[in-house]
Amino acid sequence: MIETFRKGTRVKWNWGQGVGRGRIAERFDRHVERTIEGSLIRRNGSTRDPAFLITADNGGHVLKLRSELSAA
């Protein structure tokens, strides 16, 4: 079973040649769209692979699926 994350959990994800890090801000078990830094970002969240809005350590926001994340 895949570990799930709660609000406030620290996570990391692959980003370019490195790794991004941040904290879970919100969970979505359905399709979600957010405008982040002027770009419309979409994720098809589900109960098996939820989408998460994450507050990155640099202060920005990212929208990622559970399958793209690991515990930091």
Q: What is the pLDDT of residues 36-70, one digit of tens each?
A: 999 999 999 999 999 999 999 999 999 999 999 99
Give the pLDDT band (50/70/90) at residue 2.
low
Give the pLDDT band (50/70/90) at residue 1.
very low
Q: Is residue 37 one of the residues assigned to a domain?
A: yes
**Per-residue exposure over 33-47, b if at least 16 CB sit within 10 Å of its own CB, e if not:** ebeeeeeebebebee
Instruction: Return d(Cα 64, Cα 54) in angstroms, integer.
Output: 8
Q: Is residue 60 one of the residues assigned to a domain?
A: yes
Q: Is residue 5 one of the residues assigned to a domain?
A: no
Q: Is residue 14 one of the residues assigned to a domain?
A: yes
Q: Is residue 65 one of the residues assigned to a domain?
A: yes
Domains in the chain, number:
1
Domain interval for residue 43: 10-71
Instruction: Return d(Cα 36, Cα 33) in angstroms, integer.
Output: 9
For the CA atoms of the chain, what is the radius of gyration? 11
The structure tokens listed for 67 are 């399958």
Q: With contact defined as beta carbons under 8 Å apart, do 31 and 42 qualify?
A: yes
Q: Is residue 3 one of the residues assigned to a domain?
A: no
